[in-house]
Structure 1
Amino acid sequence: MVSATPASGLAGACRRAAWQHGGMLDIALQPVTVGTSGLGKRPGADAGLARAILSSRFHQADTSNNYADGESERLLGEAIRELGGLPEDRVVFSKGDQDPVTGAFTGERMKRSFEESTGRLGLETLPLYQLHDPYTISVAQAMAPGGPVDVLVRLREQGRIGAIGIAAGTRELVEEYVKTDAFDVVLTHNRYTVVDRSAERIIELATERGMTVFNAAPFGAGILAGDNFRGATYGYSEPSPEFLAHVAAFRALCAEWGVEPATAALHFSLREPRIHTTVVGVNSVERLHELQGHVDAVVDVEFWAALEALGTPPAPPTD
C-alpha cells in the first residue's frame, strides 16, 4: 500500500533518518470515502446526516479540523458516541489545520489541531491525519525540525496516527510536498475529474513512491453532478468559455449514452487504478442515497472510448 522511502534533502541530510516512514495506511480501503466538509453547516439539522454516514454502506469518512469550524468532527463524534463507539469496520480520517484566528501553522498548532480533532471525535488514535492546506507557511517551514510535519511524524511514531498525508489544492505545492518523501498519503481535489487531468503529475509522483492516493471532489464542486448551487463554476472558480463548452459536450455525450453525468464523473475516478479511494462530499441524507445509486450504476465500457474521442480537456480554471 505505502512504501518506506527516505526524505529528500529539503529538510537537510541530518533529518533524513527522522523522516523515514514508520507507518503505513494499512487498512483495506473501500473505493469510495464520504467527504464531510459540508457537515455542520446546517445548525440543528446535520446530526441525522452524521448518523446516516456512519451507518451507511460506505465505511470511510473524511473530515478536517476546520470543516464548519469544527462542527463536522463534533457531529461525527456525537454519532460515534451514540453508537457506543466507532464500529470496528468503520474508519474516520481527519486533517490538521492552521490556527483559525491567527493563521499560524507551527508545530505547536499541529499538536493542538490533532488534540482538538481526537477530542471532538472521541478517538484516541486516527488511521490517517493530514497536513491540510498549508498556505500560510513555506514547504521549508513545514518540514523544519519542530514544524508541523515533524509533529505528524512523531505522532505516527507514537502510534497516535497510522499514516500521515498531504491534502491541498495548489498543484505545484502538492507536488513539492510529495517530493519530500515524508508522506504516506496524498489527497488531491478538484484536479482529476472527467473534464480535468491537471493532477496527473501529482498522481504519477505519488505512484512512483508507493503512496496511497485519495482523489476528492470528482464532481468539480458541483458542476458535474447536476444542479450546481454555485453557478457555472468549476472547483470554486470561473471557467473559460472553452472549458464550459467541453463540459457541455460531456453532458451531451452522457445524454446520448443514457448515463447520468454524476455517475460518469464518479466512475471516471473509480476506474483509475492509481487512485485508491475517491472522496465524495455529501451535504444531506438525500445526497448520500444518490451516491449509493451512482456507485451501483453500470457504465458501458464503450462510453469511455467515446469520452476519449472528445479530446483533451481545455485548461481548467484551477491553478
Structure 2
Amino acid sequence: MTSAHIPGLTALTLGTSPLGRDTVPGSAAEDEAVATAIALLRSGDFVDTANMYAGGRSEEVLGIALGELGAEEREEAANRIITKVDRDLETGVLDGDRVRRSYEESLTRLGLDRVRYLHLHDPYLTPFAEASGAGGSIEAMVSLREEGLTDVIGIAAGRVPVVAQYVATGAFDLLLLHNRLTLVDQSATGLMTEAKDRGMTVFNAAPFGGDLLAKGSVAGTSYAYRPVSDELRAWTARAEEVVARHGVPLAAVALQFSLRSELVDSTVVGISSPARLDEARALAAWAIPDAVWGEIEELGAAPTPVHDEREPVL
C-alpha cells in the first residue's frame, strides 16, 4: 500500500479500542492484554489507538508491550502507531490546550517522545466555529505538526456532515471514517472521494458495522451502535443466502468490500486477541468469486440505520 503521508501503510490497520478494558495493573487480565498488544506490534501492520480508548488503558497496555520489545523492534513498532487526541472526558472540552494535554497524556502512557501520526478524534461537543477559531483544536493540531512534535495529522470521527467541515479546511493529511463505507451503508463515498482528490490518506474503520456483518442476521446484532431494524435484518439474511451459495462467509465479503475499494488506503479492524488477528487475516485472504459482488449489488441498497443529516451535531 502506498500513501503520500504514511510510507509503508498496510492494507489492514489494527484497532485497539477494547485493549486493556476493565484490567488493572499487575493483573492476569493485564498480562493477557499485553500479550495481545505484543502480537499486534509484531504483526507488521499499523496499530490504531486513542487517548480515550478503554479509559486510557489501551495506550498504557501498548506502552507496556513496547517496553518488552528490543530497542530496534520497539522503534520500528512505534513508527506504526497512530493515536488520537480526545476531549476531556469530565468537561467535554476539546480546545487547543486540551489537544496538547491529550497528546502529552498519550505519550506518557505509550512511553514515547512522539508519535508520527496523530488524529483529532470525535469533535462532536465542540462547535466548528470554536474548533476552527483562534486557540481552537485545528490550530493546535497544525501547530503540533509545524513544531515537529508529530509528522502527520488527521481527523477521525463518524458523522459525515461534521467531518466534512474539517476536511474542507485543507488542514489535515488523513481522514478516518467509521461505519459509513460498508455493505450496508456507503454514505462516506462523497467525502472519501473529496478527501482522495485533496491528496489525503483515507482510513475506513468498522467494516463489519459493529457485529451485524460479522455475525449476520441473528437476533441481538447491531449496526453502528444502533439497533437493527427488521428490514435491515431481512436484507442481511438475503446477503447471507448469496454468500452461502458461493461458499464464502459474510464477514469475508464485508471486509473485502473495504479492502477492494479505490477510496480506501487502509481498513481499520478491531482486534481483541491474537486469535482475532489470525481470523482477520484469513478473512482478508479468502478467495471471493467475482459473481458475489454482482449478486450483492442486485439486492439493492440496504435500509441503513445511519442518517447523519438528521442527527444533532452535539
TM over 0.5: yes
SS of equivalent to 2:76: coil
Is 1:48 the counterpart of 2:35? The answer is yes
Count matched residues: 297
Two-structure CA RMSD over aligned residues (Å)? 1.9
The runs of at least 4 consecutive aligned structure 1 residues that moved more than 3 Å come to 227-230
Q: Distance in 2 between matches of 1:31 and 1:174?
A: 23
SS of equivalent to 1:275: coil
Alignment partner, residue 184 of structure 1: 173
Is 1:77 the counterpart of 2:63? The answer is yes
Identity across the alignment (%): 42
Between 119-128 and 135-144, report the one with greater CA deviation: 119-128
Alignment partner, residue 196 of structure 1: 185
Q: Deviations over 1:194-241 (max 9, x none)?
A: 121111122122122111100000010111112799923101101332
Is 1:234 the counterpart of 2:223? The answer is yes
* Kept after mapping to 2: 8 A contact 1:189/1:216: yes
Larger RCO, structure (CA 8 Å, separation 6 or more): 1
Q: Which amino acid aligns with 2:36?
A: L
Q: Deviations over 1:84-130 (max 9, x none)?
A: 34242650000000001111111111100001111111222222111
* Kept after mapping to 2: 8 A contact 1:39/1:68: yes
Q: Distance in 2 between matches of 1:184 and 1:273?
A: 18
Q: Distance in 2 between matches of 1:110 and 1:305?
A: 45
- Of the three residues 59, 78, 88, the one matched with 1:99 is 88
Q: Distance in 1 between matches of 2:157 and 2:267?
A: 15
Q: Which amino acid aligns with 1:40?
A: G
- Structure 1 residues 139 and 229, CA, compared in 2 at 3 Å: closer, same or farther? farther
* Kept after mapping to 1: 8 A contact 2:22/2:54: no
Is 1:88 the counterpart of 2:76? The answer is yes
Q: Distance in 1 between matches of 2:36 and 2:194?
A: 36
- Of the three residues 281, 294, 314, the one matched with 2:283 is 294
**5+ residue gaps, structure 1:** 3-23
* Kept after mapping to 2: 8 A contact 1:175/1:201: no
* Kept after mapping to 1: 8 A contact 2:16/2:271: yes
Q: Distance in 2 between matches of 1:39 and 1:97?
A: 17
Alignment partner, residue 26 of structure 2: none
How far off is 1:310 after superposition?
Answer: 1.3
Q: Distance in 2 between matches of 1:274 and 1:193?
A: 12
- Of the three residues 171, 190, 215, the one matched with 2:204 is 215
How far off is 1:285 after superposition?
Answer: 2.2
How far off is 1:42 after superposition?
Answer: 4.5
How far off is 1:72 after superposition?
Answer: 0.4
- Structure 1 residues 55 and 307, CA, compared in 2 at 3 Å: closer, same or farther? same
Alignment partner, residue 11 of structure 2: 31
Q: Distance in 2 between matches of 1:46 and 1:155?
A: 30
- TM-score, normalised with respect to structure 2: 0.89
* Kept after mapping to 2: 8 A contact 1:262/1:294: yes
Alignment partner, residue 269 of structure 1: 258
Q: Which amino acid aligns with 1:83?
A: L
Q: Which amino acid aligns with 1:59?
A: D
SS of equivalent to 2:135: coil
- Structure 1 residues 42 and 299, CA, compared in 2 at 3 Å: closer, same or farther? farther
Alignment partner, residue 128 of structure 1: 117
Q: Deviations over 1:122-177 (max 9, x none)?
A: 22222211110111111111111221111111110111211111111111101121
SS of equivalent to 2:190: helix
SS of equivalent to 1:30: coil
**5+ residue gaps, structure 2:** 24-28, 309-314
* Kept after mapping to 1: 8 A contact 2:50/2:86: yes
- Of the three residues 51, 54, 58, the one matched with 1:65 is 51
Q: Which amino acid aligns with 1:41?
A: R
SS of equivalent to 1:278: strand
Between 238-247 and 147-156, report the one with greater CA deviation: 238-247
